[in-house]
Amino acid sequence: MIAALLLGLTWVLVTPAFQAPDENAHFGYVQSLVESGDLPGDVAKPPYSSEQEAAMTVSNSNQTAAVLATKMEWSRRTWERWLDRGDPSFGHAGRADTGGPNPAAFNPPLYYVYDSLAYRATSSGNLFSRLTAMRMLSVLWLLVTVAAAWLLAGEIFNRDKLLGLAAAGLAAFAPMVSFVSASVSPDAMLLATWTVALWLGVRILRRGITAANAAVFFAVVGAATIVKATSFALLPGALLVLAIGLHRRRPLPLQRAARLAGAAAGALVVTAGAWFAVAHALSRPAAAQVSSASTTAGTSIRELFSYVWQYYLPRIPGQNDFPTAAHTLPAYDIWFKGVWASFGWTEVVFRNRVYIVLLALTLVVIVAASSELWRTRTTADRAIGAFLALVTLSLLAGLHWSDYRIIKGGGSFNQGRYLLPLIGVAGLVLALAVRRLAPARRPLAVAGVFGGLMLLQVLSIALMVQRYYA
């Protein structure tokens, strides 16, 4: 936990202002919330305040984002001039003239309400101090992610501390998890709420359902949907846990079953339902990402199949070509590379040979984990496997559907960081691979994994230093 915190704080300081995906939009959301008391999205207002526009200009952040040839502004004279005559000249009016549409404008508000605490606490400081404080508050969610990964592994592996350490260590030391959690982004809270939800769902399947644990589980799932609409992918798995939990309590009086189901539904209504009610009252979409992708107009099943095929396998004759940013297969170029190391606005990456090594090591872990899963198939709880598989497939299906719709419109959507909510599942895969080894070799294997992850962290930070400071 301490190591994860120190790594997170390092990323806070190494990453220049607004050089994480959509960080400018997320900062603008919080500023609108605090300074004007309104959620962003008003078409009559500018997307960013006068203060933020000036800060992005003076730091050269907009020109640097996603453009490798451009650097941030590091002049001490410029910085001192900003402190003397720039930032102080705006005052409240220069901070509050925002609230317009930006890429984050229609996100649910839970993370932004949380991060506004840091903004308010440092409101007397300059913009860059507020941004740093907001990042530091985000890093605390990394600790929740790590703790939840430990607890999740504990439920599945009967509190085996070494296997729990392996699972939690992946969440603690994976560079992209640290990078994302150390930026102003709802993804920091998203990773934490997903990992907590996975732990609570597995806990119910292992220990049995009660009104209390059902309410807590569905409250976390509901809260996750107020962090980001991606979390609606948790709902099918949550309903499966409820159904299996009730089934395993048979014979169960109807009144008791209704009470358990009511506790789950009530928790969902209090969390997600409350936001839907507020959004309706404000005449704004409660889940814009879901509603914008839900239309099936113009959808061809054959074309959709062709798109999914080409995401993982080479295109075959007769299939429509789906252009993406990938040089080879999108599953490798976008998801695999992006989930391991794709920093800045996804333009800060290693040379391809680094990813080839990572791919080889990842495949070794997957093969070992699959072998262990097959070896223990007769004693494994299939309900837990079904829950984790359904959550994983629901997320992948949602991401593919959104990507397919946006590519048809001439854009692109998928990024590797969108898979990071499954970091708890990835930790379990690593723990399974470790368990496949002889007991005497397991500590050495975990030490080797941690050493490799820490090396990757150091190299990733060095890559950022080279990109922005060299």
Residue 377 falls within a domain, yes or no?
yes
- Weakest mean pLDDT among 80-89, 200-209, 361-370: 80-89
| Res. 407: pLDDT tops 90 | no
Higher pLDDT, 390 or 326: 390
Q: What would the pLDDT profile of 261-272 be if each residue is shown by its tens digit?
A: 999 999 999 999
Length of the chain counted residue by residue: 470
Residue 46 falls within a domain, yes or no?
yes
**Sequential DSSP letters for 143-191:** HHHHHHHHHHHHHHTTT-HHHHHHHHHHHHH-HHHHHHHTSSSTHHHHH
| Res. 298: pLDDT tops 70 | no
| Res. 291: pLDDT tops 70 | no
pLDDT band at 297 (very low <50, low <70, confident <90, very high): low
Residue 294 falls within a domain, yes or no?
no
| Res. 316: pLDDT tops 80 | yes
Residue 13 falls within a domain, yes or no?
no
Q: Which residues fall within 8 angstroms of residue 403, CB to CB, at 6 or more apart?
A: 307, 412, 413, 414
| Integer Cα distance of 294 and 24 in angstroms | 27
pLDDT of residue 213: 96
| Res. 406: pLDDT tops 90 | no
| Res. 303: pLDDT tops 90 | no
Residue 70 falls within a domain, yes or no?
yes
Whether 185 contacts 192, CB under 8 Å = no
Residue 98 falls within a domain, yes or no?
no
Buried b (16+ CB within 10 A) or exposed e, 229-253: bbbbbbbebbebbbebbbeeeeeee
The pTM of this model reads: 0.96
pLDDT of residue 165: 98
pLDDT band at 321 (very low <50, low <70, confident <90, very high): confident
Locate tokens 């070794």: which residue?
364
Q: What would the pLDDT profile of 30-68 be if each residue is shown by its tens digit?
A: 999 999 999 999 999 999 999 999 999 999 999 999 999
pLDDT of residue 294: 61
| Res. 295: pLDDT tops 80 | no
- pLDDT averaged over every residue in the chain: 94
pLDDT of residue 4: 97
pLDDT of residue 360: 98
Helix (H) / strand (E) element for 402: namely: helix 382-408
Q: Which residues fall within 8 angstroms of residue 177, CB to CB, at 6 or more apart?
A: 142, 145, 171, 191, 420, 423
pLDDT of residue 293: 60
- Nearest by Cα to 457 from 195, 74, 149, 182: 182
- Weakest mean pLDDT among 79-88, 92-101, 287-296: 287-296
pLDDT of residue 422: 98
pLDDT of residue 292: 63
| Res. 216: pLDDT tops 70 | yes
Residue 192 falls within a domain, yes or no?
yes
pLDDT band at 415 (very low <50, low <70, confident <90, very high): very high
From residue 196, how far is each of 147, 205, 278, 412 by CA, in Å? Answer: 9, 14, 25, 30
Return the half-sphere exposure (C-beta side, CA atoms, 13 A cut-off) of residue 258: 3
Domain tally for the chain?
1
Residue 409 falls within a domain, yes or no?
yes
Q: Which domain holds residue 453?
A: 2-6+18-92+107-289+303-468
| Integer Cα distance of 52 and 389 in angstroms | 43
pLDDT of residue 327: 75
Whether 417 contacts 180, CB under 8 Å = yes
